[in-house]
Amino acid sequence: MVECTKQAIRELRDAAAGRRGEEVEIGAHMTRLTGDIISRTEFNTSYDTGKRIFLLLEHLQRLTSRSSRHLWIPGSQYFPSKYRREIRRLNGELEAVLMESIRRSREIADEGRAAAATYGRGLLAMLLSEMEEKEKNGGGGGGEFSYDAQLVIDECKTFFFAGHETSALLLTWAIMLLATNPAWQEKARAEVAAVCGDHPPSADHLSKLTVLQMIIQETLRLYPPATLLPRMAFEDIQLGGLRLPRGLSVWIPVLAIHHDESIWGPDAHEFRPERFAPGARRPSAAGAARFLPFAAGPRNCVGQAYALVEAKVVLAMLLSAFRFAISDNYRHAPENVLTLRPKHGVPVHLRPLRP
């Protein structure tokens, strides 16, 4: 994360220096940065290698988003249509790209490297090593979980989507909010300087960056990357006065909950990170019960924890490198395409703090 962010800071300096008024569209840079980080994490390679995967996932995302706006008729998924053919084509191409990466990793393994380091260091390497180990032990018999090729592909798609776009959107919205709230920007910068000094943040620093944590949580409240959480009941459930039968599909309106004035008060639509200050008064008991599971995603999710660490590291380093202000060209237009993104981007003015 630190090395990728250093490279992104160099690119931002060059971009700002090459434009009048030092204005850059920060969203594109955050997308490339988080793409670089997840590419190195997953495939131990660069963003350029994973760019084709990102483009295919984006096309699939837009098509899937379109489908959620139409009335679903049981059995309609079996009707032939240009729309469904395009989804199948894109998904087939995406899986072919991922299978090629898996094939290359296995070819490396066949060269005779030690089993412990067979596939390299990325997440894909860990999944393939686990799959190989399970196959040696009889395919994970006795009730143990086992990976097959399709599952590895699905895991890769999930990590690319969740570890790339949602992280980029969190960073983009956070920078927009800091650029339009200079007092909080200065407060966060002072905290980073006090905790980290002139060094990039380390693991020991992260828990001490409480102001930055408050800003990240408030950003997720105002602009949650996932505005709806679809879930299905696998068994009959009683929730208060509601009975949810097995098989029922439940759509949780995260964005609506996060802006509900009965939970947050009349300033629910305002940027107020002090809501999340240690010891601050939380929403009412009823409101908290409705809100807590969705504040920043499931608390026990490894991907969630990874994304929050990534956000802290990147924002801390950007605050140490730049002072940013929102451009007069910025048009506030959140767009919901499965994820909540700025329709017209986020142009900001960057002022380097160091030569």
Question: Residues comprising the binding site?
Answer: 301
End-to-end CA distance of the chain: 22
Could you tell me if residue 343 is left (phi over 0), alpha (psi between -120 and 50 degrees) or otherwise beta? alpha
Residue list for the binding site for heme: 301
**Structure-token pair, residue 283:** 């929403």
**Structure-token pair, residue 282:** 């939380």
What letter represents residue 204's amino acid? D
**Structure-token pair, residue 256:** 């609506």
**Structure-token pair, residue 251:** 């759509």
- Nearby residues of 223 by Cβ (< 8 Å), 6 or more positions away: 169, 170, 173, 334, 340
3-state SS, one letter per residue, for the chain: CHHHHHHHHHHHHHHHHCCHHHEEEHHHHHHHHHHHHHHHHHHCCCHHHHHHHHHHHHHHHHHHHHHCCCCCCCCHHHCCCHHHHHHHHHHHHHHHHHHHHHHHHHHHHCCCCCHHHCCCCCHHHHHHHHHHHHHHCCCCCCCCCCCCHHHHHHHHHHHHHHHHHHHHHHHHHHHHHHHHCHHHHHHHHHHHHHHHCCCCCCHHHHCCCHHHHHHHHHHHHHCCCECEEEEECCCCEEECCEEECCCCEEEEEHHHHHCCHHHHCCCCCCCCHHHHCCCCCCCCHHHHHHHHHHCCCCCCCHHHHHHHHHHHHHHHHHHHHEEEEECCCCCCCEEEECEEEECCCCEEEEEECCC
